[in-house]
């Protein structure tokens, strides 16, 4: 059993409340690094507790304890902010990790780096006032579709004004804010609406830089919750071209998590997920962009077009790192020149990117 196969085995056991089989082929010190790469060490601890020695599990236990503390802080803060937003007349919708962690056997198994809310863009100034009154430091404001706030020790809050930038998926999600309803302590999407969003979010990461096993765990648990509620989502996913992707990921999720995983041959999709880490890799991002350009312009032109796009990013791409462009768009050529000069100090990084660009693809990722 390889380390990646053993990772699937441990996660599957944790999801079903079983203990993993201790493998003589796996060194737990190096295995821990793989678990951290995919952000599943707290889950794996549950599967290995009582199976491996306390010394072997020490880093896993530390990761689990940090996850418990972080989860408690985030849940309390999320409820607090939601209540304050309501009193101020701000419709702020809980989504992303806050919705998904509730489906895990215990919420600390899935730690989120952020607390995420979706709001109407007209409320940004009001939200900023609330956040700063609560002691948050404004990290980013109106320089993209996401405003970011931070407060010690671990609170990072992202306030989204849309679910997908550039009006992705033909505007399908543009009216999602209106569809959210009050549920418990705050506004949330219906199970079906959130599932459709989660599939689209999964695809976005998969198709950009790649994404690891935790996205597939989320997909498995969300799919099971939707099935339990007897909700039909396939017709909606077909409208936005994601039904084939959803069904392919269903197949892998069932193979990995429906029962205790037994080592088996992996196809290219499985290999791509396990090679990607939690949010993908630089290599995956470059290879995916190259693959899209190859389809559009042909194999001979793909690398050249890629370099042109890197040298001359669009106005919208540069508005986030250079917010001055929003006020003075005519400065775009000067920003290009500034970036070229800055690039001269990063020759090694540029050389590495070119090396990855010219590298032969390892996995076939197309659905």
Neighbouring C-alpha atoms within 13 Å toward the C-beta of 177: 18
- Res 100 pLDDT > 70: yes
User: How much is the pLDDT for 283?
Assistant: 66
pLDDT one-digit tens code per residue, 243-301: 999 999 999 999 999 877 767 778 888 888 888 877 666 666 666 677 777 878 887 88
Q: Where are the domains of the chain?
A: 3-280, 289-358
User: How much is the pLDDT for 228?
Assistant: 63
Q: Which of 106-110, 140-144, 226-230, 339-343 has the highest mean pLDDT?
A: 106-110
User: How much is the pLDDT for 31?
Assistant: 94
User: How much is the pLDDT for 348?
Assistant: 81
Between 142 and 131, the more confident residue is 131
User: How much is the pLDDT for 285?
Assistant: 67
Average pLDDT over residues 166-183: 85
Phi, psi at 255, each rounded to 5°: -65, -40
CB 189 within 8 A of CB 180: yes
Rounded Cα gap, residues 140 and 119, in angstroms: 16
CB 140 within 8 A of CB 148: yes
pLDDT one-digit tens code per residue, 23-51: 888 999 899 999 999 999 999 999 999 99
Nearest to 365 by CA among 303, 243, 276, 279: 276
Task: Output the pTM of the full model.
Answer: 0.84
Lowest mean pLDDT among 58-62, 122-126, 203-207: 203-207
How many Å is the maximal CA-CA distance in the chain?
A: 64
Token pair, residue 225, equals 């919750």
Write down the mean pLDDT value for the chain: 87
pLDDT one-digit tens code per residue, 351-360: 877 776 777 6
């Amino acid at each position: 059993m390889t380390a990646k196969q053993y990772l699937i085995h441990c996660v599957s056991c944790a999801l079903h409340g079983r203990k993993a089989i201790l493998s003589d082929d796996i060194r737990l010190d190096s295995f821990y690094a793989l678990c951290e790469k995919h952000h599943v060490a707290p889950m794996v601890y549950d599967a290995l507790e009582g199976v491996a020695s306390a010394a072997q599990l020490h880093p896993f236990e530390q990761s689990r304890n940090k996850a418990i503390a972080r989860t408690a802080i985030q849940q309390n803060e999320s409820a607090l902010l939601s209540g304050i937003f309501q009193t101020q007349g701000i419709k702020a919708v809980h989504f992303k990790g806050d919705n998904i962690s509730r489906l895990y056997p215990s919420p600390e198994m899935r730690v989120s780096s952020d607390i995420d809310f979706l709001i109407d863009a007209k409320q940004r100034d009001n939200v900023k006032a609330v956040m700063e009154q609560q002691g948050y430091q404004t990290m980013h404001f109106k320089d993209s579709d996401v405003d970011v706030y931070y407060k010690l020790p671990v609170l990072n809050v992202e306030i989204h004004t849309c679910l997908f930038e550039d009006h992705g998926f033909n505007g399908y999600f543009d009216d999602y804010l209106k569809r959210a309803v009050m549920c418990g302590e705050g506004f949330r999407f219906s199970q079906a609406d959130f599932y459709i969003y989660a599939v689209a979010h999964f695809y976005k990461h998969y198709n950009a830089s790649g994404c690891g096993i935790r996205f597939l765990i989320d997909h498995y648990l969300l799919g099971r919750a939707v099935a339990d509620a007897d909700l039909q989502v396939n017709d909606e996913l077909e409208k936005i071209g994601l039904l084939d992707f959803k069904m392919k990921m269903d197949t892998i999720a069932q193979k990995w998590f429906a029962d205790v995983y037994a080592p088996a041959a992996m196809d290219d999709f499985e290999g791509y997920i396990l090679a990607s880490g939690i949010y993908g890799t630089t290599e995956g991002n470059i290879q995916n962009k190259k693959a899209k350009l190859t389809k559009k312009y042909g194999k001979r032109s793909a690398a050249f077009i890629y370099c042109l796009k890197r040298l001359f990013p669009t106005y919208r791409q540069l508005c986030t790192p250079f917010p001055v462009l929003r006020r003075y768009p005519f400065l775009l050529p000067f920003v290009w020149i500034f970036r070229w000069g800055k690039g001269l100090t990063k020759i090694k990084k540029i050389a590495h990117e070119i090396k990855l660009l010219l590298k032969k693809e390892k996995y076939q990722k197309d659905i």
